[in-house]
Amino acid sequence: MIYRLLCALALILVTAPQARAQSQEEIEQTMKRATRFMVEEASTNGGYVWSYLPDMSRRWGELEAKPSMIWVQPPGTATMGHLFLDAYHATGDEYYYQAAEKAAAALIRGQHRSGGWNYFIDFAGPASTRHWYETIGKNAWRMEEFQHYADNATFDDAGTSEAMQFLLRLYVEKLDPKYRPALDKAIQFVLESQYPIGGWPQRWPYDPEFPEYSRYITFNDDVAAENIKFLLMVHQTLGDTRVVEPVIRAMNSFLVTQLGAPQPGWALQYTLDLKPAGARTYEPNALTTSTTAANVRQLMNFYRMTGETKFLARIPEALDWLESVRLPEGQGSGDRHFPTFIEIGTNRPIYVHRRGSNVVNGEYYWDYNPEAPLGHYSAYRAIDVAALRREYEALRALPPEEAVRNSPLYATEATPLPRYFVVDLATGSDLNARGAAAPTDLVRTLNEDGWWPTPLRATSNPYRGDGPAEPAPGDFRSTHVGDATDTSPYTTDTPVIGISTATYIANMSRLIEALVSDR
């Protein structure tokens, strides 16, 4: 997923002792050299993808990208913009602010006319975009959201959310009016795409050529939670009271979509008449344990924002239900003891499988057999029900007036945004993402060209044409990729050394941490 936005006024940073061994001058020089490479060598019109070969002959976002493309989906162009603003706050160097402006210009240039964003931007134009979908996207077996071109924007994977947050942050930094039109379009996009019941679709406006699931009310990938967060940021920084009613409506949508006894959980998506619905073909119509746990956390957040006990009322039965579907000891995978999908009506765990070797001859299906589950979509989840229950009990004992003491919903004065946004790397779908080393190592390992050599564990087959109708020999049931025609990303045991945007972000964040903590 994405980078955690802290709603505090200051960032508390704890740095290992070896971080202080580096001089501020060395750290700032390293940061500047690494940033010059990314801005002046790696970027395309101010934007970025996820990884590059050193000679730039191949590059990837979640899938292989054309040289004319940048990625919006985190950790992409907006994440880089956030990082540049963090570096600007840490150093005062206008170079970083200018880099953030270039990232913003790229995003604005690729903003959909509706006000949101798609997963990527192709500066070569619509024909190039369609060609990508008809070749690389179409043949990515497990990447169903990329197999169809759609003339709309998406809330999936927080791409639109992070782009909106970055534009808001950049605007309030210096109140530069040139960013206000794109920001206003983004705000309007969130308001206009919201359903009367309070939820949001995965994509908007609806494109009838795209699968039906894209118009359903979506909780998957925190669509509703991310939109609520952004609207609250707008309220806090701009004093825009229009967003208050949509936020309240969105919070109430969590209540009306919770099923009744004996299965008081949530599904990934819902039809417009509030019936649970499936999404991609490996996301069947079922209740989802991870979504249920995430929505319980959100309900507790809503109590903190409103003081209304209705948001706590049905949490106990949701937690009891989660406990009831926990697998017996010895089942599951590692510390993951909750099946991802639970059949509606029976409470039986269901497991998704696939057969075939590519998008042409392959298919996904589900049954009750846990053997040979998908490798790219976990059949099990780790959920700390006891911790959720403790948090609930603490909130239940908290008087409403105490709960809302610092509520952003009722703020009457503008609240500054945090100075630092990129404080914790969430890998999301980027299979190359790794944590950062100590600052002493980061100064030493930046190469002469200005980038940190990173083993690119994530790769993909180059496009070779559409897959054959007959399955290729081999067992592809639990792999990330099928036969040689499948363009889905996968991890390799023989990675090449390349350039990783996520590595740059993680390392820069660590160096910023060292700078700020030494002051």
The whole-number pLDDT of residue 17 equals: 40
Mean pLDDT (whole number) for 423-443: 73
Residue 335 banded pLDDT, cuts 50, 70, 90: very high
* Dihedrals phi, psi of 269, to nearest 5 degrees: -145, 165
Hey, what domains does the chain have and what are their CATH numbers?
24-518 (1.50.10.20)
Q: What percent of the chain has pLDDT over 70?
A: 95
> Which segment of 184-188, 300-304, 427-431 scores lowest on mean pLDDT?
427-431
The whole-number pLDDT of residue 3 equals: 36
Instruction: Give how far Cα 128 sits from Cα of 121, 253, 342, 387, Å.
Output: 11, 39, 41, 49
The whole-number pLDDT of residue 10 equals: 33
d(CA 181, CA 106) in angstroms, rounded, equals 15
The whole-number pLDDT of residue 428 equals: 59
Q: Could you tell me how far CA 344 lies from the centroid of its own chain?
A: 27
Mean pLDDT (whole number) for 464-482: 97
Paired tokens of 74: 């985190």
Q: Is the dihedral of CA 100, 38, 128, 82 positive or negative?
A: negative
Question: Hunting for tokens 């134009």 — which residue is that?
Answer: 125
Q: In what order do the strands lie in the sheet with 276-277?
A: 217-218, 269-270, 276-277
pLDDT tops 60 at residue 374: yes
Paired tokens of 21: 């061994």
Mean pLDDT (whole number) for 173-190: 98
> Which segment of 81-95, 328-342, 426-440 scores lowest on mean pLDDT?
426-440
Adjacent-strand bridge partners of 65: 59
pLDDT tops 70 at residue 262: yes
Residue pair 517/420 in contact by the 8 Å Cβ criterion = no
The whole-number pLDDT of residue 440 equals: 81
pLDDT tops 60 at residue 2: no
Instruction: Give how far Cα 16 sits from Cα of 27, 273, 474, 518, Å.
Output: 15, 53, 48, 11
* Dihedrals phi, psi of 490, to nearest 5 degrees: -150, 165
> What is the number of other CB atoms lying within 10 angstroms of the CB of residue 256?
12
Question: Hunting for tokens 């909750």 — which residue is that?
Answer: 338
The whole-number pLDDT of residue 12 equals: 31
Mean pLDDT (whole number) for 466-473: 97
The whole-number pLDDT of residue 424 equals: 64
The whole-number pLDDT of residue 88 equals: 98
The whole-number pLDDT of residue 6 equals: 33
Among candidate residues 211, 74, 255, the one with its CA nearest the CA of residue 155:
74
Paired tokens of 116: 């949101």
Residue 14 banded pLDDT, cuts 50, 70, 90: very low
The answer to pTM > 0.85 is: yes
pLDDT tops 80 at residue 435: no
Give kind and range of the element (H or E) at residue 238. helix 223-238
The whole-number pLDDT of residue 410 equals: 87
The whole-number pLDDT of residue 22 equals: 72
Residues whose CB falls within 8 Å of the CB of residue 427, separated by 6 or more in sequence, listed in order: 1, 433, 502
In sequence order, what DSSP letters do the residues of 325-348 get, joined into one string? HPPPTT-SBTTB-EESEE-TTT--
Q: What percent of the chain has pLDDT over 90?
A: 90
pLDDT tops 90 at residue 13: no
The whole-number pLDDT of residue 438 equals: 78
Q: For 34-63, what is each residue's pLDDT tens digit?
A: 999 999 999 999 999 999 999 999 999 999
pLDDT tops 50 at residue 11: no
Residue 8 banded pLDDT, cuts 50, 70, 90: very low
